[in-house]
Structures are given as structure tokens and as C-alpha cells.
Amino acid sequence: MTRRTLVLGGARSGKSAHAEGLLTADAATYVATARRYPDDPDWGLRIAQHVARRPPAWRTVEAPAPNDLISLLGAAVEGDPPILVDDLATWLVGVMEDVDAWEGRGVGEVERECAALVEAVAAVRARLVLVSAEVGLGVVPSTRSGRLFRDHLGTLNARLAEVCDEVLLVVAGIPLKLRE
């Protein structure tokens, strides 16, 4: 059985809904990596839509700090309910915010956090589905912070793909198998 699946896709591609559909067990742990911003009602609405679509038997864990996700994965054992992490782009935004990396500071810390995540994913024994935004299919970001984010996320996705058993790319709601 596939133990670790990475689901990639662009914004609004259907990647999260597809990832949720991969879990057929009644119980699951949904790890929400997005931080809540009280002054952004649109973001709050998006989070609420994700919450409303989850089965009621799923447990939601909000993991806004990078170490929360790494610790959760490190504690997972074989036989635990499946884990769905949605999504790694918002997790990386949190990492970059925490070390003030948007202007190029803290790059080493960002790389260490990403390496720790890859190591935790490689070691996890429970069924795991990861969701991440695919980058690099569009225009080059016009800002330094945009390029830094794209570069870090692209590298993280590639490293995670190396340790996942299955990698999917969702385009226009259609999943394409890159590795199975």
C-alpha cells in the first residue's frame, strides 16, 4: 500500500479536494498549516470552506508553527489514522515569516526547517497525504520575496517527491500520476 503521497497543483486546481478523496478511512487527522489572520475575512472564509468539506469524523489539528507539524509526524506510528497535511506552501510561508526571510535573511534556518520536514516525512509510519502548491509553471515573480518563496517551495517539493511513494499533479481538477 502506498504510505506517503504528495499531491501537487496550482492555486484552485482541486489538489486539496483530490487529496481528501484519497483517504477512504472513516477517521483521519487533518493537519491545517494555514495561520489565521483576524484582519483578513477572505482568508477566514477560505479556511471555513475547507473545514465544512471535511467529514465529521476527521480530527483537525491546526499546526501554525513549523515544529508543530514536524513533531506530529514524528509521533505518528503504524496503525494510526491517516494524516492529511494541507498545505506545505502555507507551512513554508509560516517558516519564512518566523525567521523574517522575505528579504533574504534566515535562509539557513528555512533550509534547516525544510530538511527537518523531509526527514520527518521519510520516517513517518502512518498513511500520509501531503498537499503542496506546484511552482514554476508561470511567470517569474516580480519581487525578491516572491522569488525566494518560489525557490524554497520548489526545492522542498522536489525533496519531498524523493521520499514519497506516490506523486500526483492536479491540473484543472484532473490528477496526473507522476510516480506510483
Q: Active site residue: 15, 18, 50, 127, which one?
A: 50
18 is catalytic: no
Q: What is the largest CA-CA distance in the chain?
A: 46
Active-site annotation, residues? 50
